[in-house]
Amino acid sequence: MAKDMDERRLTRVLAVSSSGGHWEQLMLLRDSFQGCDVQYAATMEGLGERSGVGATRIVPDFNANKPMRVLTGLMAVAKVVRDAKPNVVISTGAAPGLIALLVGKMIGARTIWIDSVANSERLSLSGRMAGRIADLWVTQWEHLANRNGPVYYGAVL
């Protein structure tokens, strides 16, 4: 038991999401990070303070429909990941979280993607892409899980 707690204290987690429902789902997971050194990144000012997790790094919101913003977002997210030096990167979506997983993977971090509960008919575009990157790829809908991934453990909401 003591060894588990020591390992958790050494674990640096970077938790990244877009605002809105993605952020709300990430906040529902925060008890899972207890004992870890957690840094948060989001796409809207003040989310961390309002949610009680303190200062949160801000990254631009972007998607595939705005290619120039993707480049700016990629650089901003890469800087956040580089500065955080995480052992684990986790995201509930969307594009900024996917980029964080990719950069995290490049620096040797373990990566976790939890696709949003809003994607009940099919995985999000970011969620489908995350399946190629994430060490743990999760859906919140049982009927979207399959033996090649993503896996289903239940819903956050």
Backbone angles phi, psi at 88, to 5 degrees: -135, 135
For residue 18, which amino acid is it? S
**pLDDT tops 60 at residue 9:** no
Question: Distance between CA atoms of 123 and 94, rounded to whole angstroms?
Answer: 11
pLDDT per position as a tens digit, 78-95: 999 999 999 999 999 999
Tell me the per-residue pLDDT of 129-139, one tens digit each, with 9 for 90 and over: 999 999 999 99
Rg (CA), the chain: 15
The amino acid sitting at 93 is G
Rounded Cα distance, 64 and 84, in Å: 25
Q: Is the predicted pLDDT of residue 8 greater than 80, yes or no?
A: no
Q: 30-44, 58-72, 119-133: lowest mean pLDDT where?
A: 58-72
Q: In the structure, what pLDDT confidence band is assigned to residue 66 with cuts at 50, 70 and 90?
A: confident
Quick one: what percent of the chain has pLDDT higher than 90? 87
Please count the other Cβ atoms lying within 10 Å of the Cβ belonging to residue 145.
16
Highest CATH level, class, for 2-152: alpha beta
* Average pLDDT over all residues of the chain: 93
Which pLDDT belongs to residue 1? 44
Instruction: Name beta bridge partners: 5.
Output: none
pLDDT band at 65 (very low <50, low <70, confident <90, very high): confident
Q: CB–CB of 129/93 below 8 Å?
A: no
List the strands of the sheet with 151-152, edge to edge: 57-58, 37-42, 12-17, 88-93, 110-114, 136-139, 151-152
CA-wise closest residue to 100 among 8, 4, 7, 26: 26
3-class DSSP assignment, residue 91: strand
Contact assessment for residue 17 and residue 35, using Cβ atoms and an 8 Å cutoff: no
Q: Where are the domains of the chain?
A: 2-152
pLDDT at 143: 97
Share of the chain above pLDDT 70, in %: 94
